[in-house]
Amino acid sequence: MTTPAEAVKPIEPPPSPAAPPSVRAVARGIVRVARPRQWLKNVLVFVAPGAAGVLLHAHVLTQTLGAFAIFCLGASGTYFLNDAADVRADRSHPTKRHRPIAAGIVPVPLALAIAVPSMAGAVGLAWALAGWRLALVMGIYCLVNVAYSLELKNEPVLDLAAVSSGFVLRAIAGGLAAGVALSNWFIIVASFGSLLIVTGKRSGEQHLLHGAVADQAQVRRTLNLYTPSFLQAVRTAAAAVTITAYCLWAFERAGQAHPGHDPIWFQLTIIPFVIGLLHVVRLLDSGVGSAPEELAIHDHRLQLYGLAWVALFAVGIYVA
């Protein structure tokens, strides 16, 4: 007879290449490690100037595009560092084992040689673009990701906070680059919305790894420390706070945009926002949130709700 641990064998890591990878293969691997698809997260830098109704101003748009590019550079640097630090764990993961560093295509020393200048360059460019405040945000983003890669990813709850902070810092960076003051409600929506997505990502990872590896801790130590009920409770609380804060922000924004005149377009954005958020909660509850960016790219319902929200918000700013 076999024990449960013997019945579910760990996935074997991919074999090392028989010959050193070609320069072309390494170059392709470097692009893959940089994760261009993940740059979709950096669209968050456009949210604050867009919500303020100034995004289409030439100077603001230029500044925001610059902040977007800087975050793409800095984020890619953190991906190189994280994959280099996680190389052994990734080789036990059903999908991450094919990442270029885990597969032996991109050497760890090369990954580190790219990671450090990328993060340092992002901080320097942020200072050049919008001064020390944006550089500070970029520096905090890089430091949090370094701490996450080296230790925080193994600490329950702190790992959720570390990953969530990346989304919030992107939103703050957009406001700083554009010179837009950020509402307290806006920060709360960004913070708890990020926590919802990150917690759903952990649930999705548990779902993905269930039955694929004997011990999920060999892939991510905290996965064995989170019960499904705990993650569900956090998702529920985060969703509730996000919806409440967004409603308050929408009413506040309406008063700021149209003093003494209330055409209710901002309030109407609550409808697609809540429907879209509940749609996301449903998907996360079913365990499909291990790659949140894939939902944004492939889920047409979510895209439809997002377009409805943008349309109503645009009417509230530019027409009403």
Return the domain boundaries, the chain.
22-182, 184-320
**Which residues does 297 contact at the CB level (< 8 Å), separation at least 6?**
37, 40
273/74 Cα distance (integer angstroms): 30
Q: Give me the count of residues in the chain.
A: 320
pLDDT score at 259: 66
115-130 pLDDT tens trace: 999 999 999 999 999 9
Contact yes or no for 129/63 (Cβ under 8 A) = yes
Neighbours of 190 (CB within 10 A): 23
Over the stretch 59-96, which tens digit does the pLDDT of each residue have?
999 999 999 999 999 999 999 998 888 888 777 767 77
- Rounded to 5 degrees, φ, ψ at 17 are -55, 140
Q: What is the mean pLDDT of residues 147-173?
A: 91
Sorted by sequence, the CB contacts under 8 Å of residue 128 that are 6+ apart come out as: none
209, 94 Cβ separation under 8 angstroms: yes
Q: What angle do CA 254, 255, 256 make, to 5 degrees?
A: 90
Instruction: Convert the pLDDT of each residue in 94-112 to its tens digit.
Output: 777 788 888 888 898 999 9
The whole-number pLDDT of residue 141 equals 96
Q: Domain 22-182 sits in which CATH superfamily?
A: UbiA prenyltransferase (1.10.357.140)
How far apart CA 248 and CA 44 sit, in angstroms, is 20
Residue 210: the pLDDT is 63
> What pLDDT score was predicted for residue 95?
73
Predicted pLDDT of residue 147:
94
- H helices of the chain, in order, are 4-7, 23-34, 47-51, 58-85, 87-90, 108-130, 132-150, 158-178, 184-209, 228-257, 265-268, 270-285, 292-298, 300-318
Cβ atoms < 10 Å from Cβ of 93: 23
DSSP letter at 42 equals G
Instruction: Provide mean pLDDT across the span 135-143.
Output: 96
DSSP character at residue 15: P
